[in-house]
A and B are shown apart, each in its own frame.
Chain A
Amino acid sequence: AQSVTQLGSHVSVSEGALVLLRCNYSSSVPPYLFWYVQYPNQGLQLLLKYTSAATLVKGINGFEAEFKKSETSFHLTKPSAHMSDAAEYFCAVSRLGNTGKLIFGQGTTLQVKP
Chain B
Amino acid sequence: SQTIHQWPATLVQPVGSPLSLECTVEGTSNPNLYWYRQAAGRGLQLLFYSVGIGQISSEVPQNLSASRPQDRQFILSSKKLLLSDSGFYLCAWSGEGDSPLHFGNGTRLTVT
Q: Tell me the minimal C-beta distance from A14 to chain B in angstroms.
A: 28
Min distance, Cβ A67 to any Cβ of chain B, angstroms? 14
- Write out the residue numbers on chain B whose beta carbons fall within 8 Å of the beta carbon of A98: 32, 49
Instruction: Indicate if A32 sits at the interface (CB-CB under 8 A).
Output: yes
Q: Name the interface residues of A62-103: CB closer than 8 Å to any CB of B.
A: 90, 92, 98-102
Number of interface residues of A (CB under 8 A): 22
Among B34, B93, B100, B104, the one with the most A-chain Cβ atoms within 10 Å of its Cβ is: B100
Interface range, B side? 20 to 34
Chain B residues within 8 Å of A41, by CB: 106, 108
* Supplied contacts A34-B101, A43-B104, A99-B101, 16 more A-B pairs, CB within 8 Å: A34-B100, A41-B108, A42-B106, A43-B6, A43-B92, A43-B105, A45-B103, A46-B100, A49-B98, A51-B98, A100-B49, A101-B34, A102-B44, A102-B101, A106-B43, A107-B43
Bound-complex Cα distance A100 to B103 (A) = 10
Query: Is B46 an interface residue when CB atoms closer than 8 A count as contact?
Result: yes
Give the interface of A toward B (CB within 8 A): 32, 34, 36, 41-46, 49, 51, 90, 92, 98-102, 104-107
